[in-house]
Amino acid sequence: MKYTFKPFLYSIFASAMLLGCGSTSGVLSTPIENIDTSPLKESALSEAEKNSWSHLDLVQDTIPGMSVNKAYTDIIKNKKGKTVIVAVLDSGIDIDHEDLDDVIWTNKDEIPNNGKDDDNNGYVDDIHGWNFLGDAYNEQLEFVRILASGDKSNPRYAEAEAQYNEDVQKYTGYKTQYEQILQQVKSADETLTKHFGKSDYTKEDVAAIKTDNESLNQAKRIAQYMYSNGLEPLSEAKTELEDGLVSINDRLNYNYNINFSGRKTGDNPNDLNDKVGYGNNNPRHSVKSESHGTHVAGIIAAERNNGKGMNGVANNVQIMAIRSTPNGDEYDKDVALAIRYAADNGAKIINASFGKSFSPHSEWVRDALKYAAEKDVLFVHAAGNDSNDIDVANNYPNDAVGTGPEVSDNVITVGSLTEKYGSGMVSGFSNYGLVNVDVFAPGSDVYSTMPENEYALNSGTSMAAPNVAGVAALIRSQYPSLSAAQVKKILMDSGLPVKAKVTVGENGEVKSLSEISKSGRIVNAYNALIMASQMANSK
């Protein structure tokens, strides 16, 4: 759905600054015997490492990346392979971005802008994909739609109502807290700017302050705490807080607003057969802040070695842009039809960096996944950002009911890693599950494309999934004879079987990767290509 919302900024700041008390959490220190044979990365990441850590190598760089650079240097070299179409089911994508414009799929069977369905696929002028949302952007969450329907016979109505009451109270509290903290940070910045006579003071300037003035000392404490959490200068802390408030207000004004209706396509979202002509052929972002799809697309396939921005994982990919995810929860109908559209129009991989905990028509999506499997399409899905065990908590879309049998063998679900090998390796927000999460991959602070030729770091299992989709595209490009099911098996079996204990969930439980995922491994492009070669050559 969206990037991870980070209420941690409030919690750590409030405990240390506003409440004047400290506490110790159940943070796990990593004993040396749990580090396998690799050393910990002790020095801070350089700027280059921050912006490319997901492509680095655990052994060479002591960073749990996917060994993408090593794969290109030692295996791919100058072998281009076969072009692979990857469908990105997401928010709008900036298909004109300087680092994406040469890797966007073009439907060669469609004559541009003639108002006709030249290829008879049911979608008029779908040159680069399809926009199932039309002009819509903001939307309710699914459980809010359940409440808005007023249908108390819905078996999850009471659960939806309880979730609504809990979440609205929580986010109303976040709003108040963020506003208070933002005011304190602004006040601290003003105090320090006045004291130094300049706004570009440094943390060394702040550290050197010695005064009996309590107001200045308070400003110093606030600044130093923000610095200790990587927010330097204070303008960055202000931006972080302001962005958080935008997210909070979107939640309250749209996502949790029972009286809000965002659907603008004129179809019945509860009728899968009411599908003629809804949406339009413009898969671009509607506003600059609608950046999620652009970021995801760049992770997979940003143009490599063009001297701009960053490199995508895959070097021979066309991105099919499918706008199906609003600023809120996607509709099951849109997801099901988007999967079928991708499968019917040549996609060999679908990236799905979205999810929700309520899904009234989940069977429509499972049927679409089976359809994609019949078309030999791999479906890569983000595990979600709720710190939940999704063997227990509901999480959609899925390829099974609960922990029951899978309906197809083409779905791989991905949890998120940080750049910190050892106990903090699994992102704190990442969902996990021995049955329902297959692998882990880099998802925290991943650098990629943003609308209007910009770039940024973002976090979420939304970023981990496209990293895996990119590796899958490399495999399908270099070894096109391998099926979607075989590629899934390779991704799971070729990963690094890390033995380090990690902390997961809101309570910081100590687990091994083999206890929180089916494979117990982190995806590795280098190993995957070696295994793919062996499998392809054994046919």
**Lowest-pLDDT choice from 42-46, 205-209, 282-286, 389-393:** 42-46
Domain annotation covers residue 313? yes
pLDDT of res. 42: 65
Determine which helix (DSSP H) or strand (DSSP E) holds 398, and give its type and residue range.
none
Q: Is residue 172 assigned to a domain?
A: no
DSSP 34: G
Return d(Cα 184, Cα 310) in angstroms, integer: 36
How many C-beta atoms lie closer than 10 Å to residue 41's C-beta? 19
Element (H, E) at 316: none
Domain contains 502: yes
Look up the domain containing 449 and give its range: 31-139+262-537
Q: What is the pLDDT of residue 488?
A: 98
Distance CA 329, CA 319 (A): 23
State the Cα–Cα distance between residues 248 and 310, nearest whole angstrom.
30
Confidence of residue 411 (pLDDT cuts 50, 70, 90): very high
CATH number, domain with residue 71: 3.40.50.200
Residue 363 predicted with pLDDT over 80? yes
Any domain includes 186: no
pLDDT for position 275: 82
Would you tell me how many other CB atoms lie within 10 Å of the CB of residue 189? 21
Question: CA 380, CA 366: separation in Å to the nearest integer?
Answer: 14
Q: Which residue has the higher pLDDT, 5 or 243?
A: 243
> How many angstroms separate the CA atoms of 216 and 191, rounded?
7
pLDDT score recorded for residue 116? 95
Name the band, by pLDDT with cuts 50, 70 and 90, for residue 9: low
Whole-angstrom Cα distance, residue 75 to residue 71?
Answer: 5
For Cα atoms 108, 88, 316, give the angle at the middle one, nearest 5 degrees: 60
Q: Is residue 24 part of a domain?
A: no
The arithmetic mean of pLDDT across residues 289-293, rounded, is 96
**Torsions phi, psi for 99 (to 5 deg):** -105, 5
Residue 531 falls within a domain, yes or no? yes
| Residues whose CB falls within 8 Å of the CB of residue 506, separated by 6 or more in sequence, listed in order | 387
pLDDT band of 164, cuts 50, 70, 90? very high
Structure confidence by residue, pLDDT tens digits, 24-79: 333 333 333 343 555 666 678 899 999 999 999 998 888 999 999 999 999 999 89
d(CA 423, CA 421): 7
Average pLDDT of span 521-526: 96
Contacts of 37 (CB under 8 A, 6+ apart): none
How many distinct structural domains can be found in the chain? 1
88 forms bridges with which residues in the sheet?
321, 351
pLDDT score for 24: 34
> Helices then strands (H, E): number in the chain?
16, 11
Question: Is 312 within the bounds of a domain?
Answer: yes
Q: What is the DSSP secondary structure assignment for residue 295, as one 8-state letter?
A: H
pTM for the full predicted model:
0.91
Question: How much is the pLDDT for 2?
Answer: 47
Query: Could you tell me which residues come within 8 angstroms of residue 346 by beta carbon, excluding any fewer than 6 positions away?
Result: 85, 105, 320
- Report the phi/psi class of residue 164: left, alpha or beta, with left for phi > 0 and alpha for psi in -120 to 50: alpha
In a domain, 366, yes or no: yes
Q: How does strand 454-458 pair with strand 446-450? A: antiparallel
pLDDT at 500: 84
